[in-house]
Amino acid sequence: MTLRRAISILSLAGSVLASALLLAETPSASDSKGALHLTAKLVNVQGAPDSIRIDVLRWSTEDERSRLLSAWELKSAPAGGGRGAGKGAAKAGKGAAKGPAPAAAPTEALVPEVELARALQEATTVGYLWSSELSGYALRYAGRTVAGDGSQRIVLLTQRRLGALNQRWNPANGTQNKNEFSVVELRLNAQGQGEGKASLTGKITQDPAVKIVALENYQSLPVVFSDVRPAIVP
């Protein structure tokens, strides 16, 4: 082997090793299983500043998304238009032979937020949101859309409302919503960096672009998760 060839082989090996080390040190948002790992800083709430970790173990399936959306649209609600309708009808049937049927029990009005909260309790956990609190928040839905430029829009639904057990998530301005769950929406660039907001004060609405609920008037809401970026995965 000539000296020139030996030097060429050593140079190539050095380049490969350098590339491998660079990749090992570069934070990666997604692992080989398609999970997502992000860090962020909590802002504009009483518990700020705080470090946030978001771990999406897997993305929700189409069937899981469809069941949650059906709950929001009240398509999976009991027949009869309310939770007291069936009991009232049964009582009326028993008393029909003895005389005039008693007045039907008042029915409970169906509310999209209530039905979705109920469905989220029955859904499978797909990830977690962690803060300095002792326990994290289970994510019962995780979905994302990716634009042509690589930017991402991620929607997460928590089983339990952010700040349900304390005042840490109370907005710096405004009053905390009292839904039993929270919607978190992240807007990230192609490198997985950006910001996020949550349904702390804003309204929730069905959004055709993500095929699930999202934050209404996202642009007008205060940032809750700043400096969102990929976490370093071991």
CB 52 within 8 A of CB 39: yes
CB 154 within 8 A of CB 86: no
As given in the structure block, the two tokens for residue 86 are 């069936």
pLDDT in tens, the chain (234 residues): 554 554 444 444 444 333 333 333 333 455 445 689 999 999 999 999 999 999 999 999 999 999 999 999 999 765 555 554 444 444 444 444 455 655 555 556 889 999 999 999 999 999 999 999 999 999 999 999 999 999 999 999 999 999 999 999 999 887 788 899 999 999 999 999 999 999 998 899 999 999 999 999 999 999 999 999 999 876
Look up tokens 């009483």; give the residue.
46
What is the 3-state secondary structure of 153-202?
A: EEEEEECCCCCCCCCCCCECCCCCCCCCCEEEEEEECCCCCEEEEECCCC
The beta strands (E) that lie in the chain are given as 36-42, 50-56, 127-130, 137-146, 152-158, 182-188, 194-198, 204-207, 212-215, 225-230
Residue 45, SS3 per DSSP: strand
pTM confidence score: 0.75
